[in-house]
C-alpha cells in the first residue's frame, strides 16, 4: 500500500456496539468528518429507529450520507459507493480525514470491491418472491436458489432472507445467475474485505471493529436501545410513515429492523408485546449476521467496547498512520 495516499478510517461493528461515541472522539483527535455507512440512515424521516446522530452532534462533527432520499426510494450499494467516494474526495480535498462509520458490511465491501452492474430492483418480481417467502418459508427459496444458482447458494448467507430474495430476483429479471455478475467483478458475494482490494483503493485505510467481547453484553445493549427507542417516540415516527399510504413492507426502508416489526403492529399482525420481543430478536439476529461478515475481513483491528482504554487503543494504532 502506498504511504503517500490520503488517509481514511473505517469503523464498523454490530448494532448497539458503541461505534458512535468512538467515532466522535476519533473525529476530534484526527480532524475527521464522518461518512455514515448505514443502509437505513439514508432515509429521511427515519431517525429514532436508525439511531441517527442528533442535530447537536452533527453540528459538532460534520456527517455525510444521512437523509439522502425518501423512504419510498430504493437505495442500493452501488448508490452508496458513488456517494461515499464523492464525500470522501470532498473531505480529503479540504485537508480532513474521512471516517466511515456503520454496520452495513455490504456497503463497505461495495466501496472497496465494486460489484458488476446488476439489474435494478423490480417491484413486481420482488412482490412475487416476497409472497412466496411469506407462504412457503425461507427454506423453499433457498432450495430454489440451490437449483438455479448453486454457486450463489454456496456463498451467500442462506439465513438472510434479503440476500436470498435478491439473488433470485436478479436471476428472474436477467435470466443470469447472480454468481455470474459476481464473477465479472471483485465482489464475490461473501462477507469481508480483502487486503489485496484495499491495496488498490485510493486511500490508505485503517480498519477497526468495535464490539463487546461478551455476547451477553451486546444482547443487553440491544434490548436497552430498543426500549429507549420506544420511549423516545419510535411508534409515532412509524405512524407518520404508515399514514402516508404509499409505503409498504416490500420497500427496503420499511423492511429495516425495528420498522418492520412496528409496521406489523400497526397493521394488526402483532400485539405490542409481540412487536417489542420481535424487534429485539430481529436486532440480535442482525448483530449476529454483522459479526459473521466482519470476522471475514482481513486486517481488521478488533476493539472491546467495554475496555476502559478503548479510545487510547484506537488512537495509538492510528497515530502513526493518519497524522
Q: Tell me: pLDDT of 149 over 70.
A: yes
Structural domain includes residue 316? yes
Structural domain includes residue 172? yes
Q: Tell me: pLDDT of 187 over 70.
A: no
- Give mean pLDDT, residues 270-296: 95
pLDDT tens across 196-212, in order?
A: 667 789 999 999 999 99
Instruction: Give the residue numbers spanning the domain of 267.
Output: 216-288
Lowest mean pLDDT across 38-52, 117-131, 229-243: 117-131
The last residue of one of the domains, among 183, 201, 230, is 183
Q: Tell me: pLDDT of 315 over 90.
A: yes
Question: Grid coordinates in use for 228?
Answer: 429507549
Beta bridge partners of 211: 304
Round to whole Å and give the CA distance between 264 and 285: 18
Round to whole Å and give the CA distance between 217 and 109: 27
Structural domain includes residue 176? yes
- Give mean pLDDT, residues 297-310: 92
Q: What is the pLDDT of residue 196?
A: 64
Residue 63, C-beta contacts closer than 8 angstroms, at least 6 positions apart: 33, 34, 35, 36, 53, 57
Q: Residues of the chain with pLDDT > 90: what percent?
A: 75
Q: 3 exposed, middle or buried (CB, 10 Å; 0-12, 13-18, 19+)? A: exposed
Highest mean pLDDT among 160-169, 270-279, 308-317: 270-279
Task: Give the CA-trace dihedral at 142, 165, 12, 276, to 10 degrees.
Answer: -90
Residues 40 and 62 in one domain: yes
Residues 33 and 80 in one domain: yes
Q: Residue 170 belongs to a domain with what CATH number?
A: 1.10.20.140
Residues 97 and 110 in one domain: yes
Q: What Cα–Cα distance (Å) separates residue 315 from each residue in 33, 34, 136?
A: 16, 16, 50
Residues 54 and 151 in one domain: no
Question: Grid coordinates in use for 25?
Answer: 472522539
Residues 157 and 199 in one domain: no
Q: What is the pLDDT of residue 12?
A: 96
Question: Grid coordinates in use for 252?
Answer: 427496503
Residues 88 and 208 in one domain: yes
Residues 109 and 255 in one domain: no
Residues 245 and 136 in one domain: no
Q: Is residue 319 very low, low, confident or very high in pLDDT (cuts 50, 70, 90)? A: confident
Round to whole Å and give the CA distance between 226 and 232: 10
Q: What is the pLDDT of residue 272?
A: 98
Residues 211 and 221 in one domain: no
Structural domain includes residue 50? yes
Contact 184, 116 (CB under 8 A): yes
Contact 304, 218 (CB under 8 A): no
Residues 138 and 157 in one domain: yes
pLDDT tens across 118-139, in order?
A: 787 788 998 999 999 999 999 9
Measured in whole angstroms, the distance separating CA 221 from the mean position of its chain's CA atoms is 18
Structural domain includes residue 1? no
pLDDT tens across 61-113, in order?
A: 999 999 999 999 989 888 999 999 999 999 999 999 999 999 999 899 899 98
Residues 233 and 88 in one domain: no
Measured in whole angstroms, the distance separating CA 235 from the mean position of its chain's CA atoms is 22
Q: What is the pLDDT of residue 182?
A: 74
Contact 51, 81 (CB under 8 A): no
Q: What is the pLDDT of residue 173?
A: 92
Structural domain includes residue 83? yes
Put simply, whether the predicted model's pTM sits higher than 0.95 gets the answer: no
Report the SS3 class of residue 68: coil
- Give mean pLDDT, residues 164-192: 77
The dihedral sign for the CA sequence 199, 65, 156, 294: positive
Tell me which of 169 and 200 has the higher pLDDT. 169
Give me the number of domains the chain comprises: 3
When the pLDDT of each residue in the chain is averaged and rounded to a whole number, the result is 91
Q: Is residue 2 very low, low, confident or very high in pLDDT (cuts 50, 70, 90)? A: low
Q: Residue 275 belongs to a domain with what CATH number?
A: 1.10.287.890
Q: Tell me: pLDDT of 188 over 50.
A: no
Round to whole Å and give the CA distance between 107 and 84: 9
Round to whole Å and give the CA distance between 270 and 268: 6
Q: Is residue 158 very low, low, confident or very high in pLDDT (cuts 50, 70, 90)? A: confident
Residue 266, C-beta contacts closer than 8 angstroms, at least 6 positions apart: 238, 239, 242
Helix (H) or strand (E) holding 98: strand 97-101
Structural domain includes residue 2? no
Q: Largest Cα–Cα distance in the chain? A: 58
Residue among 245, 200, 279, 219 at smallest CA distance from 17: 219
Q: Residue 25 belongs to a domain with what CATH number?
A: 3.40.50.300
Report the SS3 class of residue 206: strand
Residues 162 and 238 in one domain: no
Q: What is the pLDDT of residue 245?
A: 96
Amino acid at each position: 500500500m502506498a504511504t503517500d495516499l490520503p488517509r481514511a478510517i473505517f469503523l464498523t461493528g454490530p448494532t448497539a456496539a458503541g461505534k458512535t461515541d468512538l467515532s466522535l472522539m476519533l473525529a476530534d483527535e484526527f480532524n475527521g468528518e464522518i461518512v455514515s455507512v448505514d443502509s437505513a440512515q439514508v432515509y429521511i424521516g427515519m431517525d429514532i429507529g436508525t439511531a441517527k446522530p442528533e442535530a447537536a452532534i452533527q453540528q459538532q462533527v460534520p456527517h455525510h450520507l444521512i437523509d439522502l432520499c425518501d423512504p419510498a426510494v430504493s437505495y442500493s450499494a452501488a448508490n452508496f459507493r458513488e456517494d461515499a467516494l464523492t464525500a470522501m474526495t470532498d473531505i480529503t480535498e479540504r485537508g480532513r480525514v474521512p471516517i466511515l462509520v456503520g454496520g452495513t458490511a455490504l456497503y463497505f465491501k461495495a466501496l472497496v470491491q465494486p460489484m458488476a452492474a446488476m439489474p435494478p430492483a423490480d417491484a413486481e418480481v420482488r412482490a412475487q418472491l416476497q409472497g412466496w417467502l411469506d407462504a412457503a418459508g425461507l427454506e423453499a427459496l433457498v432450495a430454489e436458489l440451490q437449483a438455479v444458482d448453486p454457486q450463489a447458494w454456496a456463498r451467500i448467507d442462506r439465513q438472510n432472507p434479503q440476500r436470498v430474495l435478491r439473488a433470485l430476483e436478479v436471476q428472474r429479471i436477467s435470466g443470469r445467475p447472480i454468481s455470474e455478475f459476481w464473477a465479472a467483478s471483485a465482489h464475490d458475494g461473501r462477507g469481508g474485505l480483502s487486503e489485496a482490494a484495499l491495496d488498490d483503493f485510493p486511500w490508505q485505510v485503517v480498519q477497526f471493529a468495535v464490539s463487546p467481547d461478551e455476547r451477553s453484553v451486546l444482547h443487553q445493549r440491544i434490548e436497552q436501545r430498543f426500549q429507549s427507542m420506544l420511549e423516545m417516540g419510535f411508534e409515532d415516527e412509524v405512524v407518520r410513515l404508515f399514514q402516508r399510504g404509499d409505503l409498504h413492507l416490500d420497500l427496503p426502508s420499511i423492511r429495516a429492523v425495528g420498522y418492520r416489526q412496528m409496521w406489523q403492529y400497526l397493521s394488526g399482525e402483532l400485539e405490542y408485546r409481540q412487536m417489542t420481543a420481535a424487534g429485539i430478536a430481529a436486532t440480535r439476529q442482525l448483530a449476529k449476521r454483522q459479526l459473521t461478515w466482519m470476522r471475514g475481513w482481513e486486517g481488521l483491528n478488533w476493539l472491546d467496547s467495554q475496555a476502559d482504554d478503548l479510545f487510547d487503543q484506537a488512537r495509538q494504532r492510528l497515530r502513526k498512520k493518519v497524522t
